Amino acid sequence: MTTKDGTTGEKGRARTGRRLARSKSLETATAAANRPLLTDRRRAIVSGHMISRRAFVAGSVVALLTVPLAAEGQQAERVHTVGLLSPPPGPYVAAFEESLRQLGYTRGVNIVFETRSPGTRSELLPKAVADLLRLNVEIIVTGPNRFIDAAKEASASIPIVMVYGSDPIGRGYISSLARPGGNITGLTWEPSPEILGKHVQLLSELSPRPSRVAGIVDPSAPYVSHWKEAEHAAERRGITLQYVQVGAESDIPKAFSTIIGWRAGAVMVFGSPYLWGLRAQIASLAKKNALPTIYMYREGPDAGGLMSYGTSLTDSWRRAASYVDKILKGTKPGDLPVEQPTKFELVINLETARALGLTIPPSLLLRADQVIE
């Protein structure tokens, strides 16, 4: 069969199909041209949505991987146990803890303290130390000497930090100040002997000026060099200095009877941890007998004595924290030099001065680190 244009039927059907296809393509193109274009803002939203989903997925994976690692790090942080053997009441342990906190240790987080305080009952000391050893403390912080002795006798391996040891070389605690050796290090109680010359000088500035001074000493702490320095300073100022021993609390009344018999005008309380514990009893009897007193520690005037010039026990506890930190980080106690007191303070109790009828020169008050009104 032939069409009007002379082509055969099969060829004509092919041409007709091609025309229809071109027509459909043209309609599709026209519709696409007439549709509103995708704006830049919509493209950004779509793109941002895709990026956000990718970021979310990636962040979730990182978080899932990080959580176990963080937990592992928290579990790995060690909690240290430090033993405190008979720390004195007052601000001392708080100062010690604050200093440790500044070094990165927080109570209950990465450090705990086990405290045993047998007080003056020496028979309870061995049990107190045994308790600390049973609790596997890593360090024992203690002082004065009788507590250091108990810790030393119980263990030759656990580090012992003495806060105020006396004559540590003579007692066999250490080999030398610079290289202690063994398991004991820390801080000593006594400053150099010259400090007692300063005590005599301060008493000589009072009005009225004493011509006789009594020195209360602890027979278990015979600091001969300190006594000689005080004697030389007294001689240079025309002052007579005599000593009386107090080895127990019951010795205090008898000592003051002797002091009054000497007609002493003032009392020097020589430094020892034992006399530190008797400071209030000594101050009370001194005031009762109208005698000014000078101590080597500020707790003396705090307890009613007249004045003090010497080391700060609170500062010693602060400094002990640095020893604990170094030992916990791996330094052997035998490699840490023993420190002697470096910070001294003059404290005057004006209330006691008034009660005794004394005049404190303005020049002396100006030099005081603290005046108790």
pLDDT tens digits along 142-164: 988 889 999 999 999 999 999 98
CATH of domain 194-311+343-372: 3.40.50.2300
Is pLDDT of 237 > 50? yes
H-only helix segments in the chain: 9-34, 40-76, 92-102, 125-134, 145-154, 194-204, 224-236, 251-261, 273-277, 279-288, 299-302, 313-328, 350-356, 362-367
Average pLDDT over residues 352-362: 94
According to DSSP, the β-strands at 266-269 and 212-217 are parallel
pLDDT at 99 over 70: yes
Q: State yes or no: pLDDT of 75 exceeds 70.
A: no
Q: What is the pLDDT of residue 124?
A: 87
Q: Helical H runs in 222-312?
A: 224-236, 251-261, 273-277, 279-288, 299-302
pTM, two decimal places = 0.72
The CATH topology of domain 80-190+316-335 is Rossmann fold (3.40.50)
What is the average per-residue pLDDT within 5-11?
A: 45
> So where are the chain's domains?
80-190+316-335, 194-311+343-372
pLDDT tens digit sequence for 187-217: 998 777 888 999 999 999 999 999 999 999 9
Indicate whether 219 pLDDT > 70: yes
Matching fold, domains 80-190+316-335 and 194-311+343-372: yes
